[in-house]
Structure 1
Amino acid sequence: MASSDPSREFGLSEGYFAQSAFLADEFIEEISRVDLEFARKNAEFGPKPFVRTFERALDKLETAQSELGKKISQLERSANTYAEDHRKKMVRLKQTFATVGSSFERLETQISEVGSNTIRIGEQLDTVAKEKERAEAIKELVEFYAQLNEGNTRNLDSLLEGGAEGMLKVAQTLRRLNTIVVDNEYSAPADAAAKRQIEKYSENFEKAMLSTFESAYRDGDVHSMGIAARALDAFNGGVSVVKAYINQHPFFLSSMVGQAHDSIAEASYHAMDGVSDIASRPPPPDRWLVQLYADTRAVMFKDWAIISKVFPRPIDLMQQLLKRVFEQTIQAYLETLLSRAESQSKLAFLRVLASSHQETRRLVEDLQKFDAETITPAVMVLETARRSGNNPQGLLDMPGDAQTASAQFSRSRSKKNLARAENGSDSAAIDDEDDLDDEDAARERLGEARSGVSSAVAIAALIGRSEGDSAGVGLLHSFLNRCCDDLFESYTAGGNYMSTEQGHLKDAFRQILVPVVRARSERQGPSRSKALLGMLSSVTGGAGTGSTGTGAATAASDAASAGGSANSGNSSMPGVAEADSSISTQILRMMLEVHAEAITRAIELESEAAAPEAVAALSGQLITTLGDDYVFPALEDVLESLQDQKQEPDVRTFDVIQVANIVVRLLQMHFQRAIVPFVGNGNYIYRDIVAEKNQLMSRVEMNLNLIINKFVGASKQWIGGILSKQRKSDFRPAEDDFTAFEAGTQPCRQCTEFLQRVEQACRKDLGEENQARVLTEVGNALHEMLMVHLCKFVVSVAGGLVLAKDVSRYRETISGFGIAALNDKFAVLQDISNIFLVQPSALKSLLEEGPLARQDRATVQAFVQMREDSRSSSLVKQFAS
């Protein structure tokens, strides 16, 4: 490569023409470097050397180009040759791969055919074996049938003497023989003897097994119970033995359940003090019901260890036992308890219904947890053992971990209740631990059944959840939910509960508002003004209780703690007498407490899908009653009281405004805390209830604004009426009337005292924005009236002192408002009062050089004219000039 590189022929470095950044200018500069240096040295430029150099370079480039073309052609021919050889090799290789693939496919087909033949042979052998077993079984049945037809039972009797396996064999044989008898019911009369003998022997066998089971049950012999139960299960599906177990169960014979339900419910109802009192907290769940559920837990947890060892299908027996408990014991007691409560009052019925449902749900959840953690895994292991061909009866003694699960679970629930329940059933107690197999042996049998698979993985796979999932759903989950729903369906289905709840809520609100309605009806009489003053007096006490806002449920609870008793049949409400005439936070708190309790019951008793609509319906009822029957009538009364122009506007009106604002805030808190979490957010139910609530709040705000405006207007008229009583002699007092100089005029004192009461009430009951608004309007109105009022009276020299005293008092009162604009206006009014104090000679400088120089000249002139000496001293002319 180095010898054929054309770069050297030009005197350039090797690989010059192969570089990526080749530039023609640089190339020309390189080949002409020698000529350039020669020209520089001689200081003379001649083109001929350069021409000869470029001609030689051009010749060499053309030669190099020709050689390069030849080289490229040679390489292309070589590449084509190599490509053709490669293509031929790939074709041969592809054909070889296709041949190998075909060979593998033929081999795979042959293997598949061999496998299919093997499977068919295995199936045929299995069929033959089954047919052989069936033929032997049929032969055996025919022999037993023939023997029984002849009255011979020796073979069956000998099987019975063979222990558990013999009993199981007799049970299976009798079941098949009975099937044959049923199928050949219309056969020849010769078979009648066999039929009678089979039926008789079957009856005796069943009685003997039941007798054995019952005797073992009483003696606590779990092993004998299991033998008899398995035999009867093989004989008739275990119907009779399940019935015997349930009928003799001590739970249904205990002293508590054996008592008359009426007497228990009566005692239970009387034990729940205040169940019909809307002002008291809901009582705890019925203690007898709680005890019944504790006994139910204890029985179920304890019995599982026995049932799982005794019965081949323990899950079926657990269902039958639970069904009996729910449908017979629990349902009968609940019906009696609820009937007693319903006869007393709606509230008693609703409270007992909700607390009973809540306690029942706790029972169901505990049983579901026990089912998911203990029952279902054990049943799944037994099912796995059956499928794997192992003897499932050997697994009925559960391993140690499953053995003790029920005891551990029950202890975690309530040791005290379960101990009491166990002590109460000593008559038929069974010592489980004495009859349980050795823990190591049980674990060994369980390990054999699972064929080496770990217990956690095997059980999780059978149940259908991952190994780490602890929130599994057991086999009895849906069954227990259905049992709970069936207990309360008649009380909640078809809108029965909501109808009762809404009726109670209506009655409760009416009961709370009875004092308000009565007081309002009294105010409609002739002495309306006195009744209204009494109403305003009552608000002061109510406002103090609502100075701090809390959540709906908390506020309701605080209100409840302030009172005594209020039965549904008695309208004596606690804490209402002092605030029974108008809007108060006490009454609102009681309404919110009643409503919060109703929502709690609705969430408890309604389904998850129906709960939002139920909460919205109850909330709509609260909003409607609160507005139409309570808040708006009270605000209307206040508005009407401000229509009387002959009476001073009562500043306690602001107490009503304050309490109304507190009512709105409490309602908003109640809405956020007790309503929104249960109706959702963003759905149509939420939008509707928010719109209804906002409409109420907007109406309240509009009425409060109207009351404030009405009060401001009434205040203006009242101030105007006071000023109209100003006497002309007030500003022309006698020289020795020192009282007028010190105290000012009576209208001034009345106005300022009224303004101080308004200012104090605003500070106490209104927010800063409303304070500024009311005080500004009242102050501006007073200033305007004074500017007109003071121009009506002639003022003597001594009267100027009285007028200055009045203006100073007005200014001092207005300064208490804390509004800069009003302070400036009354400062100007104070300057105007100086017009009546200065000497005539100093008046011109006061008007032209002092603060009054910036005031309207016509206004100032009007005050100057009211000086007593204005005509005699030609003050008007001086001022006009």
Structure 2
Amino acid sequence: MERRRCANVTRQLQILAKKIDKVENAENARNGIDKFAEKLERDLLTDFDNAYRSADLAAMKDSADILTDFNGGGSVIQMFVNQHDYFIVQEKLVNTDTLQNEELWIKLSDPDGDSKELEDIMQTLIDEIEQVIVTEMEIIKKVFRNSVAILKVFLQRVFAQRIQQQVEACLMIAEEKSTLAYMRSLHICYSKVGALTKSLKDVFATQSIDNEGELTALLDQNFADIFVPYIESGRYFEAEVKNLNQIITFVLGKFSELHSHKLVRDHSILSRFTSSNEHNKEATRDSQTSSSNTSVSEKGQGRIGQLMRAVRLERSNSHHKLAEDDESEEYGPDINLEQIQKILSYAAESIKRDLELADSKEIPNDAKTFLHLLLDGLGRDVAEMLLDESIASSNNQEAKSVDLGFLKAIRQVSGFIFLISSMIHTVIAPMLSNNAVLKGHTINSLNAFLERCETKMNTIIQSAIDLCLARITYLLNKQKKKDYAFKSGSEESVSTTQTCIEVGHFLGHIHSVATISLDGRNLELFLHEVGTSFKGLMLDHYKKFNVSAPGALVLSKDVQEYQMEIDEWNISELSEEFGVLHSVANLFTAQYVLQWVVFF
């Protein structure tokens, strides 16, 4: 009570002394009063400090009230805030000891590494800070009249000296390690401090201490002051794009090294293929009847044109089959679905960060950038490159030596396309919100990519069909005239001809590669196209030969072998069509039997 009365009297004397200007020795009086007021303030602050250290809240409140009435309470607020260890002990202001673990940064720099250790470090810091703030809030409410004003000062100091400096220290180290470590660290700090901000808002709302929203506004401002410098003006997103580009380059490094020298990715390769392919088609057509020509050139292109339209999202099972297909490694592909999935998971991690860190207004434009990173880095530089290589490989083959291994790129790339398309549809497209322009751009870009791949796949498949028929024609042209025209009675040693054996082996190769490269309706259409055209070739082929009575048995044996190979393809319609060849063989065989009947 005496302290309060003394403080009131002193304050009134100070007010009165300022009003007296012309009285003799007034200046000396004012100076004396001011010195006494300063001593009184120091004594009251000492009382407050002693009460704080002894946790005597009643005494703290009494001193705080007196000082508030005496001079507004600015000095007692500063003492209350400054006395905390957070703002006294330097080691507690910025503690970098926990950030010196090199293993932590190795994991953060590894795309497959985890960030749990840094998350735990930041969570420990956040938990500690929240506990301190909540504890101090209870003290402030009991000690100070204007608790919101004191909390604002305390929060300001905590964010500026405890949180911001720790975040800056963390990001400074991370930036020296790698772009990925920096991006992950920024995201962790942003998330943890953001969670703290939200939690404190909830606490203040529960305690009904922020009715005017002053503390909420301050928390939002402090949070922005810490992270805006790292995010504004595109700085954050530039780092994100750089990070994703580095990861894609890392994962695809060996692939790019092995494949980049094989192709110059331009349209001239398709024009070269078209020219060469037309030459192969002409050679094949010369050896076919009009009926066979209609089958391949008129019906074939229309039906094959349907083959790869299913390469869009409906082909959801293609990638699973490819993953189990070890033979797909034979033709050049040194990148697999697991690697593509990894890159897409890394992209998903980047997108997740962007959705949390970037300004919501920038998200659609960021989505456009992510779209082209995938379409260029995986679509053009992987999927289309493999298809271009496949086209080039088919273009370099001749009928005398055909290897259909290039066809295997179809299934592999189909799996890649499915994953890329799914990523764009399920992750990137939702980022576009209601931006009709960018939505249209995304749809057009994706469709253009799919159409390019579809065109190239159709080109590969048609090339495979043409090469199959060219190879079969080449082998059939090696058939000797005497294979079916010999006259000696050696029917007991009847066996298939060498040409039949070679054609049969090639038919087996066609089926083996086709089942690896295609599936479902696509596989059936491809084999049916080859089989139907092969039947036409055979009908034309047998017109060229004179068949003797014993030779008819050899011809029949060849037809049976061809039928067995076709039956292995498990296409009932095609097997039935080959009955025509049996009818032809039966005509010659019937003639042979008739001769024996007449003889006897």
Aligned to 1:191: 26
Give the superposition deviation at 1:809: 1.7
Taking the TM superposition and a 5 Å limit, the aligned residue runs for 1:496-507 are 496-507=235-246
Number of aligned residues: 538
Distance 2:209 2:220 in 1: 21
* Structure possessing the higher radius of gyration over alpha carbons: 1
Q: What secondary structure is seen at the aligned counterpart in 2 of 1:610?
A: helix
- For residue 637 of structure 1, what is the aligned residue in structure 2? 389
The match for 2:218 among 479, 497, 508 is 479
Match for residue 80 of structure 2 among 234, 241, 245: 245
Give the aligned partner of residue 35 of structure 2: 200
The alpha-carbon distance between structure 1 residues 611 and 283, as it changes in their structure 2 partners (threshold 3 A), is: farther
Runs of 5+ in structure 2 lacking a partner?
265-315, 324-328
Is residue 213 from structure 1 mapped to residue 48 from structure 2 by the alignment?
yes
Written as runs of structure 1 = structure 2, the 5 A alignment for 1:801-812 is 801-812=553-564
* Structure 2 Cα separation of the partners of residues 203 and 579 of structure 1: 89
CA contact (8 A) 1:520 1:581 kept: no
CA distance in 2, matches of 1:516, 1:262: 40
TM-fit CA distance, 1:226: 0.5
C-alpha displacement of 1:616:
3.0
Contact 2:183 2:240 in 1 (8 A): yes
Question: Relative to structure 1, is the Cα distance of residues 177 and 264 closer, same or farther in structure 2, using a 3 angstrom cutoff?
Answer: farther
Amino acid in structure 2 at the alignment position of 1:496:
R
TM-score (norm 1): 0.57
Residue 304 in 1 paired to residue 43 in 2? no
| Residue of structure 2 equivalent to 1:697 | 450
User: Aligned in 2, Cα 1:820/1:213: closer, same or farther, shift over 3 Å?
Assistant: same
> How far, CA to CA, are the matches of 1:703 and 1:189 in structure 2?
105
The answer to whether the aligner puts 1:514 opposite 2:253 as a matched pair is: yes
For 1:609, what is the secondary structure of its paired residue? helix
Q: Which has the higher contact order (CA 8 A, sep 6+)?
A: 2
- The answer for the alignment partner of 1:748 in structure 2 is 500
SS at match of 1:793: coil
**1:61-460 maps to which residues of 2 (within 5 A)?**
162-163=1-2, 167=4, 170-175=6-11, 177-179=13-15, 181=17, 190-253=25-88, 257=92, 261-267=95-101, 270-374=103-207, 377-378=208-209
Other structure's SS at 2:361 match: coil
CA-atom RMSD in angstroms: 3.0
Identity of aligned residues (%): 25
Shift of 1:213: 0.6
Which amino acid counterpart does residue 324 of structure 1 have in structure 2? R
What does residue 673 of structure 1 align with? 426
Matched residue SS, 1:839: helix
Task: Note the C-alpha offset of 1:522.
Answer: 6.2
Moved more, 237-246 or 611-620: 611-620
Q: Which amino acid aligns with 1:595?
A: A
Aligned counterpart for 2:411 among listed residues 655, 658, 664: 658
How far apart, in 1, do the equivalents of 2:216 and 2:122 lie? 22
TM alignment of 1:589-600, pairs within 5 A: 589-600=341-352
Confirm or deny: 8 A CA contact 2:489 2:550 kept in the other structure.
no
Counterpart CA distance in 1 for 2:210 and 2:577 is: 93
Of the candidates 373, 378, 396, which is equivalent to residue 621 of structure 1?
373
Letter in 2 for 1:316: A
Distance verdict in 2 for CA 1:579–1:721, change over 3 Å: closer
The aligned counterpart of 2:463 is 710
Pairwise CA distance, 1:221: 0.9
Alignment pair present for 1:495 and 2:234? yes
- The structural deviation recorded for 1:726 is 1.4
Which amino acid letter does the alignment assign opposite residue 585 of structure 1?
L
User: Conserved in 2, the CA contact under 8 Å of 1:371 and 1:475?
Assistant: no
Q: Secondary structure at the match of 2:579?
A: helix
Counterpart in the other structure of 1:785: 537
Q: What amino acid is aligned across from residue 671 of structure 1 in structure 2?
A: I
Q: 1:172 to 1:786 in 2, by over 3 A?
A: farther
Return the TM-score normalized by structure 2: 0.82
1:730 to 442, 463, 483: 483
Q: What letter corresponds to residue 590 of structure 2 in structure 1?
A: V
C-alpha offsets along residues 170-189 of structure 1, whole Å, 9 cap, x if unaligned? 445544554555576x6555
Instruction: Check whether the contact 1:282–1:351 (CA below 8 A) recurs between aligned residues.
Output: yes
* CA distance in 1: counterparts of 2:552 and 2:261, whole angstroms: 51
Q: Output the CA distance in 1 between the equivalents of 2:587 and 2:19.
A: 133
Change (3 A) 1:217 1:746: same
Separation (CA, whole Å) in 1 of partners of 2:104 and 2:249: 28
Shift of 1:793: 2.1
Are the structure 2 counterparts of residues 772 and 477 from structure 1 closer, same or farther at C-alpha, using a change threshold of 3 Å?
Answer: same
**CA-to-aligned-CA distance 1:98-155 (integer Å, 9 cap, x gap):** xxxxxxxxxxxxxxxxxxxxxxxxxxxxxxxxxxxxxxxxxxxxxxxxxxxxxxxxxx
Secondary structure at 2:543 match in 1: helix
Q: Is the 8 A contact 2:404 2:510 kept in 1?
A: yes
Instruction: Map Cα deviations across residues 11-44 of structure 1 (whole Å, 9 max, x no partner).
Output: xxxxxxxxxxxxxxxxxxxxxxxxxxxxxxxxxx
Q: In the alignment, which residue of structure 2 is the partner of 1:24?
A: none
The farther-off stretch of 220-229 and 720-729 is 720-729
- AA at the equivalent of 1:507: Q
1:335-389 CA distances to partner (integer Å, 9 max, x unpaired)? 1111111111111111111111111111111111101111xx2465xxxxxxxxx
Corresponding position of 1:685: 438
Is 2:570 aligned against 1:797? no
Aligned partner of residue 692 in structure 1, secondary structure? helix
* Cα deviation digits, residues 699-758 of structure 1 (max 9, x gap): 22221111111111111111111112212232245747679723x112222222222332
Q: How far apart are the structure 2 equivalents of 1:677 and 1:217? A: 54
- CA, structure 1 residues 588+282, in 2 after alignment: closer, same or farther (shift >3 Å)? farther
Gaps of 5+ in 1: 1-161, 381-462, 464-473, 526-545, 551-558, 560-576, 844-872, 874-881
| Paired letter, 1:697 | L
Distance 1:180 1:701, change over 3 A: farther
Corresponding residue SS for 2:494: helix
After TM superposition, give the deviation of residue 201 of structure 1 in Å: 1.7
Give me the whole-angstrom Cα distance separating, in 2, the residues matched to 1:818 and 1:335: 67
Which residue does the alignment assign to 1:757?
A: 509
Deviation string for 1:463-506 (max 9, x for gaps)? 7xxxxxxxxxx542221111111111111111000111111111
Cα 1:732–1:618 shift into 2, 3 Å: same
